[in-house]
Chains A and B, each alone.
Chain A
């Protein structure tokens, strides 16, 4: 049977169109980085609970995990999704697939190199990625490649009408490199520490709202409408979701510096505009739900669409917590606590994986001509990922709130103010227990991430032969 499997893999590389093969390879490379990044992220959580257990500290593990999950997994996989949908929505062949391959090699290579550099102490310690300038600048340039390819393809489109997914895709692939470029202000020698802190939080938050959730939601719109064969409920609601995520949602990041040395107006603006994150996410989730009205029972047969729907609603939940934490009353307790770590952890591992699987589970069978392997595995992936993500959010978030109240009580935290041995010891044990529970849920979440990777590679290598969608491109009018 081994020969057969090899033959099947060759069939992927030899069949279908060039741009579809490129998309499939993006999904596969992304899945590989998901496993690596998920493992590093889990280790960082272990390092939080058992600081002296691992030879590498949390301070190095965390940026390495962020880099792997943000660029290695989310960016690469979502760009694969973009390369899958853009030719189908524009009626034009993907322009310059060779450059797309180089972009993939660049993102993957720089991510791998970056992880090694960070873990060996050659990073710059910045957040969220911690890359030194000699990796930051090439990565910024490489991130422009998907934008160039997407825009050039749209320029040659034969279809003059735009389905809503096209906005989300254009917005996401253009905002990502611009965000990264703006984030490079942290490398400037004259940058103030306050400026660096805001640049870092804006990049973290902007990556989530302006790229991850924007592109992910756009792709969910496509797969839902396409796979379920149902018309979109509301174009206007999609418009609300798109501009909310693009314009205002990134402000949820600034709430992490609440009461910090920034101007006073930042707190109010961040709290108000940060609400755009849950609102934008809710607009998209509601729109997809209305689209599915009367067809929910069919979701069980469409693991990709189901992933997307779950991902959208998980986004709403996490975004609501993030927006809530941006208010001064909550922020006075929760700012700088592990609650924010919980939010980022779940966004990068849980939400990103569900949104990416929303398009990958729908696209891969069409691209490689193999059935998804298997629907039972997909259901298990959903269960593990949701359980793990919600568990981490609740336990680590709970630990954050507990830490915040313990600081206010002047107990055992970083405040070095002891309000009484009994109080300090009691809070410390509760905190440690919650972080330990977060580690357990982190393991469950990691099993879910492994399930996703297993489905991706299993589909490509072992899936039962099925219908293959061969891309048929029309000739552009101006060609």
Chain B
């Protein structure tokens, strides 16, 4: 069959893989064997494509408007894509066989994608300036209370452990001025150096140091109660407990 395939490919000026693929498709559809179909094509019988002779021998691949911009209303010139190294067939100026004229559906307007690109990038900058930078700018109000905690070195290392262990996925460190947060600690302000988090599947931990002792913290991290067990190294565990123990906001720093 490989000789037949090679002969058919040569006769049609197309890559063998494409011819074989088409023959298999034709075979499955018509029930004829692949060999018979290849033999027909070698003999120069009906090409499987209704388009120009160079069109690929694939059933209905000849829907010319499938692969060409549908906006084109005139008969376009087509060039068949061939793998590297293969000879590029010369397009023939014959008209493509098409059915009754039907208006194109994928109709667009003439426009400039570069203008669109400029709009897309400009819009992004505006959105980011307003949405990202705006809320992050600290609000300096003389005499205002601060939420910044003077963490020790060990606690700052523990904050890293808190982050890397994914604690913020379940715990917030953000007390809001809403009824739901009454009693959790001092309301969190813009200068906080705790990890805020956005989900509260477990308790808020911004003021956990005022409520839970370090021994109990170690037990909870190890899996006490409904808390999942975290296998932390002794150093990491010590750092984490230091961070949580120093997370005390209810007394708050002295007013400036």
With a cutoff of 8 Å between Cβ atoms, the chain A residues found around residue B68 in the complex are: 91, 472, 474
B contacts with A, residue count (CB < 8 A): 105
Asked whether any CB of chain A lies closer than 8 Å to the CB of B191, the reply is: yes
Chain B nearest CB: distance from A116 CB in Å? 15
Are A192's CB and B138's CB within 8 A? yes
Chain B nearest CB: distance from A101 CB in Å? 14
Binary flags per residue of A169-200, CB closer than 8 Å to B gives 1, else 0: 01100110011001001000000111111111
Are B79's CB and A472's CB within 8 A? yes
Chain A nearest CB: distance from B98 CB in Å? 14
In the bound complex, CA of A326 to CA of B26 (Å) = 57
Are B69's CB and A416's CB within 8 A? no
Are A15's CB and B227's CB within 8 A? no
Are A408's CB and B17's CB within 8 A? no
Chain A nearest CB: distance from B199 CB in Å? 6
Find the B residue at minimum CB distance from A205.
Answer: B131
With a cutoff of 8 Å between Cβ atoms, the chain B residues found around residue A335 in the complex are: 176
With known contacts A336-B199, A413-B200, A11–B24 Cβ distance under 8 A: yes
With a cutoff of 8 Å between Cβ atoms, the chain A residues found around residue B230 in the complex are: 57
Are A254's CB and B131's CB within 8 A? yes
Are B58's CB and A47's CB within 8 A? no
Which residues 25-69 of A sit at the B interface, judged by CB distance below 8 A? 47-48, 51-52, 54, 57-60, 62-63
Are A171's CB and B179's CB within 8 A? no
With a cutoff of 8 Å between Cβ atoms, the chain B residues found around residue A125 in the complex are: 162-169
Are B174's CB and A260's CB within 8 A? yes
With a cutoff of 8 Å between Cβ atoms, the chain B residues found around residue A192 in the complex are: 136, 138, 190-191, 193
A contacts with B, residue count (CB < 8 A): 119
Find the B residue at minimum CB distance from A200.
Answer: B198
Are A472's CB and B169's CB within 8 A? no
Residue from B21, B109, B176, B191 within 8 A of A162 (CB atoms): B109
Are B132's CB and A202's CB within 8 A? yes
Chain B nearest CB: distance from A366 CB in Å? 8
Asked whether any CB of chain A lies closer than 8 Å to the CB of B56, the reply is: yes
Most buried by B among A124, A263, A338, A414: A414
Are B132's CB and A185's CB within 8 A? yes
Are B106's CB and A225's CB within 8 A? yes
Residue from A246, A369, A408 within 8 A of B21 (CB atoms): A369
Are B183's CB and A408's CB within 8 A? no
Chain B nearest CB: distance from A121 CB in Å? 6
Asked whether any CB of chain B lies closer than 8 Å to the CB of A279, the reply is: no
Asked whether any CB of chain A lies closer than 8 Å to the CB of B92, the reply is: no
In the bound complex, CA of A158 to CA of B71 (Å) = 11
Asked whether any CB of chain A lies closer than 8 Å to the CB of B144, the reply is: no
Are B183's CB and A410's CB within 8 A? yes
Asked whether any CB of chain A lies closer than 8 Å to the CB of B116, the reply is: yes
With known contacts A14-B17, A336-B199, A408-B179, A261–B147 Cβ distance under 8 A: yes
With a cutoff of 8 Å between Cβ atoms, the chain B residues found around residue A14 in the complex are: 17, 21
Residue from A160, A193, A413, A475 within 8 A of B194 (CB atoms): A193
With known contacts A162-B113, A472-B79, A88–B127 Cβ distance under 8 A: no
In the bound complex, CA of A14 to CA of B227 (Å) = 53
Find the A residue at minimum CB distance from B137.
Answer: A263
In the bound complex, CA of A458 to CA of B188 (Å) = 53
Most buried by A among B61, B180, B191, B223: B180
Asked whether any CB of chain B lies closer than 8 Å to the CB of A407, the reply is: yes
Are B196's CB and A260's CB within 8 A? yes
Asked whether any CB of chain B lies closer than 8 Å to the CB of A93, the reply is: yes
Are A231's CB and B168's CB within 8 A? no
With known contacts A226-B105, A230-B105, A474-B77, A124–B163 Cβ distance under 8 A: yes
Asked whether any CB of chain A lies closer than 8 Å to the CB of B29, the reply is: yes
Chain A nearest CB: distance from B134 CB in Å? 7
Binary flags per residue of B113-125, CB closer than 8 Å to A gives 1, else 0: 1001100110110
Are B204's CB and A226's CB within 8 A? no
Asked whether any CB of chain B lies closer than 8 Å to the CB of A275, the reply is: no
Find the B residue at minimum CB distance from A334.
Answer: B180
Binary flags per residue of B59-91, CB closer than 8 Å to A gives 1, else 0: 111011011111110001111110100000000
Interface residues of A (CB under 8 A from B): 11, 14-15, 17-18, 47-48, 51-52, 54, 57-60, 62-63, 88-91, 93, 121-127, 130, 151, 154-155, 157-164, 166-167, 170-171, 174-175, 178-179, 182, 185, 192-202, 206, 210, 222, 225-226, 229-232, 235, 243, 246-247, 250-251, 254, 256-263, 266, 269, 332-333, 335-338, 340-341, 366, 369, 403-404, 407-408, 410, 413-417, 464-475
A–B Cβ pairs within 8 angstroms, 24 of them: A14-B21, A52-B227, A160-B110, A161-B111, A166-B108, A174-B121, A178-B121, A197-B196, A202-B132, A222-B106, A225-B106, A226-B105, A231-B103, A247-B123, A260-B196, A336-B198, A338-B199, A413-B200, A417-B183, A464-B28, A468-B25, A468-B58, A472-B78, A473-B79
